[in-house]
Chains A and B, each alone.
Chain A
Amino acid sequence: MDERSSLVELRSVGYSYGGRSPTRALQDVSLTIKPGEYVSIVGPSGSGKSTLLHLIGALQQPTEGELWIAGASVSNMSVEARASLRRKVIGFVFQFHYLLPDFTVLENVLMPACIAHGKPTRADREEAVSLLNRVGLGERMHYRATDISGGQQQRAAIARALAGGKPLVLADEPTGNLDTHAGNDAFALMREFHRTMGVTFIVITHNPDLAKRCDRVITIEDGSLASDEVMT
């Protein structure tokens, strides 16, 4: 991919939830994220941060405006085409549930490869083991996902999000459920992967200290882009 071309591009994107009480969660958001950026999204609760992240993650489609991910227009993609895009491009780290509880740590990290091509290859295994070593779980990779601590689970989830050489990792309050120490660890790991592998991270956080440590901070208020600052 061209250095200058954008990895994520939103043009006047809006999103309204349908249902019984239709909610306009996002409106007129335009922004561009280039490969290799480390972006945090901040804002009050209910401002639309998760909605924005789900749009960027191709889990939802904008109800207004245009959205491109890795050069592909998401606005009129089918459900399965979006699933395919996620398989190739996007890794997720969630706040509440990190791993699949019925599988081992290693199996969890291999899951993206299984989803992409059925059976993990040797290369997939080597990659998974090396990622787990890097997040400090080399010893525990055969543990069941539920048999390790929350901080360890979140580090394994980061390894899983990166598996398969995903260029874009989206994290929704990844440290929100962890104590300060474990949260700092997880955050440091993501920065480390960003620095060494050039992976693009977009991280929602409520923690102002962590936000300050990112290269760029996007603030959402009331469904709109309130500020977009590059840290120095």
Chain B
Amino acid sequence: MSLEWRIALRYFKAAGLQSVLMVAGVAVGVTVFVFIASLIGGLQQEIIQNTIGSISQVTLQARDTPPRTPQELGSEDKPGLAYVTRVEKYGVLEARISNWQPVVKQLDNDPDLIAVAPTVLGAGFATRGQLTQPVTFHGIVPNRENGIINLRKDMVEGSLNVTGQHCVIGTELASDLGVGVGDKVITLSSKNQRMTFTVAGIFDAGIVDVNERSFYISLTNAQHILNLVGYISAVETKLRHIFSANLVADHLAASTGLKTRSWMRQNAQLLSALQAQSGSSAMIEAFTMLSVAFGIASVLVVSVVQRSREIGILRSMGLRGRSVTLVFLYQGIVVGAVGSVAGSIVGTLLIFGLLQLPGNTASGSHLFPAQWQFQYVVQASLTAVIVCICAGIAPARRAAALDPTEVIRYG
């Protein structure tokens, strides 16, 4: 161990209460850091899980097709003049992707994606006896769709079975139509195609609108009743890193030639709310560390004054100015390190204590959705040590600048 370290450690031990106070200051800072990071991190995790977690994060759709010319519409058969007076746009539900299998295959191999689900969407009605309800048909491949919205977890009755003529509907629709598992429902699509389905399962997605509207059937049946044989409406995906949605959306648009929609662009409000949360937690962390820095610096300045005679004696013995600086910087490091260990332990215990509190029993969640991560402890400790070194700079320079004769002269 170098002389500077030995002196720094000796001073740290000898300073008693001062050292305890500095360590306590750092420990509180690190505790707050770990606590806030875990709390906000957990909260965000939960919000994300409950929102973007259960939707398609990047959706691929057909590009808007350019309006067809009168020639394409076959008006040549009827000679004469034709005026285009109105151009109808294809609705979202009408946009269709042809030759979709290669696209799905390509997406399956994309390392940015963790789930890929082709879907066929269309509007229509579901009828049971006298009761008729408007519905949205979702033609799905269950195992793939489950990767996007985790339908299996939401099943409250029956199972996620859409093989043959089976369908899966939401709780609200089931009660609106008065059906249960095993009952039959007649459907009429917007393309005027009828088909009869047997209810195989009922889900509760936690959102009334979804429970009321969604009508899950197989991809083939949906293609059939919506006149989309050979086509799909969209490809839904789930990302490995959800905040990379815009980047992934852009590169998928380029590589597939399809139109892509990123959740980040569709849910700008949610995104800015999440960012505001991250921002405020970073602010709290920064200000906590800043006040720790001021605290450490002021205690160290006092200790430089108290040690000035000894610094003078050491200087008279020929101790280098650099060494004096190092002694006080090392003291900062010792304070930062000891405080970080203490603060990490307290912060961690606090979070786990909080998780023991009984929460909302209905949803089975915790009162505080905190989520402790080792990463937070590392970040907090590193920040604290750096902060303490920085806090030591001014006092250390002051110590090195002391004139030994000034302190030696007077007793």
Contacts and interface: CB of A to CB of B under 8 A. Distances in A.
Interface of A: 50, 54, 57, 59-60, 79-80, 83-88, 90, 92, 94-97, 100-103, 111-112, 114-116, 118-119, 172, 177
A100 B318 contact: no
B409 A102 contact: no
B388 to A, nearest CB: 21
Interface of B: 2-3, 6, 10-11, 13-14, 309-310, 313-321, 323, 404-405, 408-411
Given A80-B321, A102-B14, A115-B323, 17 more contacts: A50-B409, A59-B316, A59-B408, A60-B405, A84-B318, A86-B317, A86-B318, A88-B318, A92-B316, A92-B317, A94-B408, A96-B411, A97-B313, A112-B317, A114-B3, A115-B3, A115-B319
A102 B10 contact: yes
A86 B316 contact: yes
B411 A95 contact: yes
A88 B319 CA distance: 11
Nearest to A160: B317
Nearest to B409: A50
A59 B318 contact: no
Given A96-B410, A102-B14, A111 B405 contact: no
Nearest to A108: B313
The DSSP consensus for interface residues of chain B is: helix
Contacts of A83: 315, 318-321
Contacts of A79: 321
A97 B309 contact: yes
Contact of B316 (A50, A57, A101, A103): A57
Contact of B318 (A96, A112, A172): A112
Q: Which 6 A-B pairs have the closest CB atoms?
A: A87-B318, A96-B411, A86-B318, A102-B14, A114-B3, A83-B318
A100 B405 contact: no
A4 to B, nearest CB: 27
Contacts of A95: 411
Contacts of A92: 313, 316-317, 408
B145 to A, nearest CB: 69
A92 B316 CA distance: 7
Nearest to B310: A100
Nearest to B400: A79
Contacts of A116: 318
A55 B378 CA distance: 51
B404 A100 contact: no
- Find the residue from A54, A83, A90 having the highest chain B CB count within 10 A: A83
Contacts of A119: 3
A96 B317 CA distance: 16
Contacts of B316: 57, 59, 86, 92, 94
Contacts of B309: 97
A58 to B, nearest CB: 9
